[in-house]
Amino acid sequence: MSSKYIFVLGRDQNLAKLEIVSILKQAEFDYEIEIDGANYLVITFKDKLNVNALMQRLAGTVRIAEVFSEPEGVTLQNFDVDLDIDIDKLDIYFPNKFNYTVHSLDDDAKLESEVYQLFKAHFKKYKIKAIKKSFSFSRKIGEDFEFLLVRENDSNNADANTSANANAGKILLARSVAAPDPNIYMEKDNDRPARKFTHGTSFRLAQMMVNILDVPLGKTVIDPFCGTGTFIIEGLLKGYNMIGIDIEQPLIEASKQNLNWAKKRFGFEGKYELIQADSTEVKFNADGCVFEPYMGEFLKKLPNFEKAKKDIEKLEKFYAKFFRNLTKNLNSASEYKNNARIVCILPYYRTNDNRLVHLSDRFFTQLPFKHVDLEKEFGLNLPNPIEYFTPSGSMISRQLHIFE
């Protein structure tokens, strides 16, 4: 029995899309992406989906909603929507008293109003005490009903409503059935014993990057700039064996503390090794690599163009030396199929006169690795690298690169 779901994406939407498809490919789901929207994916599955189990594996998705109706609609002269829908015939049970929200993922206020009026009339007819609440992704999913709407043409054609009497196509009506537990990330970020502001990647981002690293479970993954151990923890929880390298012994000690805490709190079966060494020279043996490296000196304000250019040139030399060492110690990918073997974040600078200074094209062409074609490997029309929206106040901009 096939089923259809809307995956609502968080802040880093392109990264969230890539994570979803990576997980589905790794788990060998039989699926088809029906709509690739700006802030959501509509995916049809051959079989019923265990949404709660899947939701726990996704760090970049804020909702999974199950589609329960696909009425046809016609856009009228005033852009209202005339929906052909009989709520009495829907496969959905309403209790006598509950709260609910209605939200269009395309920000279509007309569609929201039309659907709301249909539900309101239905509830009045059957004397159901249903109270409409304001929509917010911070609301918990439970006894309340959260209805999400997608107008198919809005996703596939930006000009779908530019002419009167245009066919509005299908309207997907879905009910939210799964949401992430924000307490998990808050606990990981806040309760670990060793934290260092300048040497930590958020656990949410780390989980997304580890999910995208398409290496078979049970293999060994290395974080060559492990800091306080965030990627090591997420890799172990995923099912990898992990190696963490850092040049600073205090950070290796911090990683040990955090790993001991994570082992007791979450449990994991994999093995790990922590090495205090220079990642541009050390020998190791691994099947994949995930990291956020040294990004240059800490900046309190945006640099001028000359400083930004000088700093990027220094980083290029350092990164080039590191990647040369990585290619000597990373196992061949020949035994794997369609694997992104290196997932990393690399920086660029925005100057105080609003210019951008990136790592040079020459740097990338001389790398012993190439960027993965995301459309070919994952069926997604996404750039590589993918922009990562850094927290407000950060002076260094970041992009996520997927190499093989």
pLDDT of 26-50, one tens digit each?
A: 999 999 999 999 999 999 999 889 9
Average pLDDT taken over every residue of the chain: 89
Identify the pLDDT of residue 71. Answer: 81
User: Residue 276: its pLDDT value, please?
Assistant: 98
Q: Where are the domains of the chain?
A: 3-180, 183-403
Q: Which of the given ranges, 129-143, 186-200, 340-354, has the highest pLDDT on average?
A: 340-354
Burial of 2 (0-12, 13-18, 19+ CB in 10 A): exposed
- Confirm or reject CATH 3.30.2130.30 for domain 3-180, answering yes or no: yes
The pLDDT score that the predictor gives to residue 277 is: 98
> Mind listing the pLDDT tens digit for each residue in 131-190?
999 999 888 887 789 999 998 764 444 343 333 334 456 789 999 999 999 899 889 988
Higher-confidence residue of 341 and 127: namely 127
pLDDT for position 73: 59
* Predicted local distance difference test score (pLDDT) of residue 339: 56
**β-strands 241-246, 272-276 pairing:** parallel
For the four alpha carbons of 36, 64, 66 and 171, in that order, the dihedral sign comes to: negative
pLDDT surpassing 70 at residue 237: yes
| Cβ proximity of 47 and 2 under 8 Å | yes
Task: Return the ∠ at Cα 334 (arms to 331 and 337), rounded to 5°.
Answer: 115
Q: Which of 119-123, 169-173, 334-338 has the lowest mean pLDDT?
A: 334-338
The dihedral of CA 11, 12, 16, 19: what is its sign?
A: negative
Distance, CA of 402 to CA of 404 (rounded, Å): 7
pLDDT classification of 198: cutoffs 50, 70, 90? low
At 214, the pLDDT band (50, 70, 90 cuts) reads confident
- Predicted TM-score (pTM) of the model is 0.91
CA-to-CA distance for 211 and 19, rounded, in angstroms? 6
For residue range 249-283, list pLDDT tens digits in order.
Answer: 999 999 999 999 999 999 999 999 999 999 999 99
pLDDT above 90: percentage of residues in the chain: 73
**Average pLDDT, stretch 196-223?**
89
- 115 pLDDT exceeds 80? yes
Q: Angle at CA 361, nearest 5°, toward 223 and 17?
A: 55
pLDDT at position 199 is: 58
What fold characterizes domain 183-403?
Rossmann fold (3.40.50)
- Whether residue 292 contacts residue 201, with contact meaning beta carbons closer than 8 Å, is answered with yes
In this predicted structure, what is the pLDDT of residue 131?
A: 96
Mean predicted confidence (pLDDT) in 90-116: 91
> Which candidate, 92, 11, 101, 5, places its Cα nearest to that of 51?
5
